[in-house]
């Protein structure tokens, strides 16, 4: 028996007022749809079908699900029928139906609704009590059992008083679903094929429909506009922070910390306020990150400090300290015990163990050997107007304050440049140079 899912996502999302399909809008670094598919997969579903519009269909490769284009949006029932037509029938299968615009629904709820569509019930659906008025479809019960769903626009005055509503999450016996969907008609206020009409259809043919009532309707409210999007983002971020805190990370102020899914943060690391961490970053143990820091695709070892700084697409080894006000980017690799101080930019450079660049420096396209000290105000002049050129500095080098290194250039191990040097030629190991242009000094 297969458990498959159909995720409805072809709606236009008019209220987003956007050129981007609604379910592709970002919540904490991932498109809304990513969360839905993630939770559906975690509930044990192996095959996922997403009903799409043309814009979404073009992006489906990213999602590990099969996109099924619904050319015209004729209603949720039509969307499901379009999906079923494209799926190989499995008479004994179960089908989970979810909406692509509900990123806060967790795997537990999907599992619960799947479990409720057991042999006794041909269908299960999630219901919630909400305050009225509401736009949700109303659950009409008879003698306590679910009898049908009436959409707001088709409801009578007394039906509008019902505060138990349809969340839009369902599980079906596949055979019963195929039958019922085939019989749907669109003779209603919206001239749409309503998936919700399958409830009355199944009940009429003697089948049971099981309600799964939830206590917090906030998590099943679909995202319709950008205000909803902000609420979803806040809730998701709280969940992400809570998960890391439970795993031993201190987050001083979760409300001003922005995390994404799929981060690794080691225990006893402390994250200070106004800090964002994203794009699969990995942070070791006992690190201090923030305040006011931004990490994106960063790999940090243990006991690393990042203070009021940003690290993009770069790595730093154990005990390295960065900042305040530093910017590390473009595949820079800082080894262990490196010290990057204030107003230092490091771009596409490799710094070996113990390198220090403590103040006001630009290191671009450079390779620097162990224990070398880069004086305040040093610039690797890597760009000659056409090309980016390399600077190679050996180990135990002393680069004097305010040195300009005109790349391509190589400074040998143990060399020294005097303060204010403009170094235009390679410096051999052990040589001392100074001046503009820098010239060899007599050895002491
Ligand atoms: C639907 C339910 C309503 C429920 C509510 C919960 C129906 C008829 N009504 O109403 O009972 O309370 O969800 O949120 O199902 N979609 C398509 N193709 C279509 C139409 C819709 O893929 O042709 C998708 C939308 O992108 C969306 C989902 O289906 O993800 C729900 O559609 P929407 O129009 O938002 O349904 P509601 O009118 O809110
Ligand atoms: Mg609608």
Same domain, 305 and 405: no
Answer whether the bond into residue 154 is a cis peptide, omega within 30°.
no
Same domain, 73 and 211: yes
Same domain, 14 and 141: yes
Same domain, 28 and 131: yes
Looking at the CA of residue 70, tell me the nearest atom of ligand 1.
Answer: 18
Residue 54 pLDDT level (bands cut at 50, 70, 90): very high
Tell me if 69 is assigned to some domain: yes
Please state the rounded mean pLDDT for residues 206-218.
Answer: 93
What pLDDT score does 127 carry?
Answer: 97
Ligand 1, atom 3: closest residue by C-alpha:
137
Same domain, 179 and 201: yes
Residue 398 pLDDT more than 90? yes
Q: Report pLDDT digits (tens) over 181-200.
A: 999 999 999 999 999 999 99
Instruction: Specify the 3-state DSSP secondary structure of 392.
Output: strand
Q: Find the 88 Cα to ligand 1 centroid distance in Å.
A: 24
Residue 436 pLDDT more than 80? yes
**Cβ of 170 less than 6 Å from ligand 1:** no
Same domain, 333 and 354: no
Tell me if 416 is assigned to some domain: yes
Same domain, 384 and 338: no
Q: Find the 330 Cα to ligand 1 centroid distance in Å.
A: 44
Q: Is 369 left (phi over 0), alpha (psi -120 to 50) or beta?
A: beta
Among 220, 255, 284, residue at a domain's last position: 220
Q: Which of 168, 187, 199 has most ligand 1 atoms within 8 Å of CB, for mutation? A: 168
311 touches 322 (CB < 8 A): yes
Q: Furthest-apart CA pair in the chain: how many Å?
A: 103
Tell me if 227 is assigned to some domain: no
What pLDDT score does 253 carry?
Answer: 98
Among 180, 201, 220, residue at a domain's last position: 220
Ligand nearest to the CA of 11: 1
Question: Which are the contacts of 36, defined by CB distance < 8 A and separation ≥ 6?
Answer: 7, 23, 98, 99, 100, 102, 103, 105
Q: Report pLDDT digits (tens) over 328-342.
A: 999 999 999 999 999
- Which CATH number fits the domain that encloses residue 370? 2.160.10.10
Same domain, 141 and 29: yes
Please state the rounded mean pLDDT for residues 171-178.
Answer: 96
Q: Which of 5, 54, 75, 76 has most ligand 1 atoms within 8 Å of CB, for mutation? A: 76
Tell me if 298 is assigned to some domain: yes
Ligand 1, atom 13: closest residue by C-alpha:
168
Q: Report pLDDT digits (tens) over 108-137.
A: 999 999 999 988 999 999 999 999 999 999
Looking at the CA of residue 10, tell me the nearest atom of ligand 1.
Answer: 22
Same domain, 295 and 435: no
Cα(428)–Cα(414) distance, integer angstroms: 9
**Cβ of 162 less than 6 Å from ligand 1:** no
340 touches 332 (CB < 8 A): no
Residue 53 pLDDT level (bands cut at 50, 70, 90): very high
What pLDDT score does 193 carry?
Answer: 97
What pLDDT score does 433 carry?
Answer: 98
Please state the rounded mean pLDDT for residues 319-332.
Answer: 98
Tell me if 146 is assigned to some domain: yes
Question: Which are the contacts of 193, defined by CB distance < 8 A and separation ≥ 6?
Answer: 74, 75, 76, 77, 78, 81, 184, 185, 186
What pLDDT score does 65 carry?
Answer: 94
Q: Find the 76 Cα to ligand 1 centroid distance in Å.
A: 5
Residue 217 pLDDT level (bands cut at 50, 70, 90): confident
Among 324, 348, 372, residue at a domain's last position: 348
What pLDDT score does 263 carry?
Answer: 98
64 touches 134 (CB < 8 A): no
Domain that includes residue 141, residue range: 3-220
What pLDDT score does 442 carry?
Answer: 81
Same domain, 92 and 153: yes
Tell me if 240 is assigned to some domain: no
What pLDDT score does 443 carry?
Answer: 66
Q: Report pLDDT digits (tens) over 290-308.
A: 999 999 999 999 999 999 9
Mean pLDDT of the chain: 96
Ligand 1, atom 12: closest residue by C-alpha:
136
Tell me if 230 is assigned to some domain: no
Q: Find the 101 Cα to ligand 1 centroid distance in Å.
A: 10
Counting the structural domains of the chain, the total is 3
Q: Catalytic annotation on 359?
A: yes
Tell me if 213 is assigned to some domain: yes
Percent of the chain with pLDDT over 70: 100
Same domain, 354 and 337: no
Same domain, 295 and 366: no
């Amino acid at each position: 028996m297969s458990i498959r899912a159909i995720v409805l996502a072809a709606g236009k999302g008019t209220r987003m007022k956007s050129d981007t399909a609604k379910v592709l809008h970002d919540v904490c670094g991932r498109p809304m749809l990513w969360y839905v598919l993630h939770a559906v997969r975690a509930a044990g579903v192996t095959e996922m079908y997403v009903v799409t519009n043309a814009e979404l269909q073009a992006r489906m490769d990213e999602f590990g699900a099969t996109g099924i284009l619904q050319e015209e949006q004729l209603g949720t029932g039509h969307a499901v029928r379009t999906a079923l037509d494209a799926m190989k029938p499995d008479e004994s299968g179960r089908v989970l139906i979810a909406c692509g615009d509900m990123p806060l629904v967790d795997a537990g709820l999907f599992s619960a609704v799947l479990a409720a569509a057991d042999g006794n019930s041909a269908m299960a659906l999630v219901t919630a009590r909400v305050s009225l008025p509401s736009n949700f479809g109303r659950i009409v019960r008879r003698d306590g059992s679910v009898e049908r769903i009436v959409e707001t626009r088709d409801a009578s005055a007394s039906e509008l008083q019902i505060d138990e509503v349809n969340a839009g999450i369902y599980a079906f016996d596949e055979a019963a679903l195929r039958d019922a969907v085939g019989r749907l008609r669109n003779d209603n206020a919206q001239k749409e094929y309503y998936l919700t009409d399958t409830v009355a259809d199944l009940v009429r043919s003697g089948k049971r429909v099981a309600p799964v009532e939830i206590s917090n309707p906030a998590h099943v409210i679909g995202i319709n506009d950008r205000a909803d999007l902000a609420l979803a983002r806040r809730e998701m971020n709280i969940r992400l922070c809570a998960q890391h805190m439970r795993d031993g990370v201190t987050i001083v102020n979760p409300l001003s910390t922005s995390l994404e899914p799929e981060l690794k943060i080691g225990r006893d690391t402390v994250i200070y306020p106004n800090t964002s961490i994203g794009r699969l970053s990995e942070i070791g143990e006992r690190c201090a990150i923030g305040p006011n820091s931004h990490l994106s695709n960063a790999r940090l070892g243990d006991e690393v400090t990042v203070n009021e700084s940003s690290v993009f697409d770069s790595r730093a080894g154990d005990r390295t300290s960065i900042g305040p006000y530093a910017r590390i980017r473009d595949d820079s690799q800082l080894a262990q015990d490196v010290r990057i101080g204030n107003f230092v930019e490091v771009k596409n450079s490799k710094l070996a163990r113990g390198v220090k660049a403590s103040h006001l420096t630009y290191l671009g396209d450079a390779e620097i050997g162990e224990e070398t000290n880069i004086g305040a105000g040093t610039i690797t002049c890597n760009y000659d107007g056409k090309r980016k050129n390399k600077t190679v500095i050996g180990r135990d080098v002393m680069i004097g304050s305010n040195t300009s290194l005109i790349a391509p250039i190589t400074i040998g191990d143990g060399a020294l440049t005097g303060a204010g040097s403009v170094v235009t030629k390679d410096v051999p190991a052990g040589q001392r140079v100074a001046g503009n242009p820098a010239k060899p000094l007599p050895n002491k």
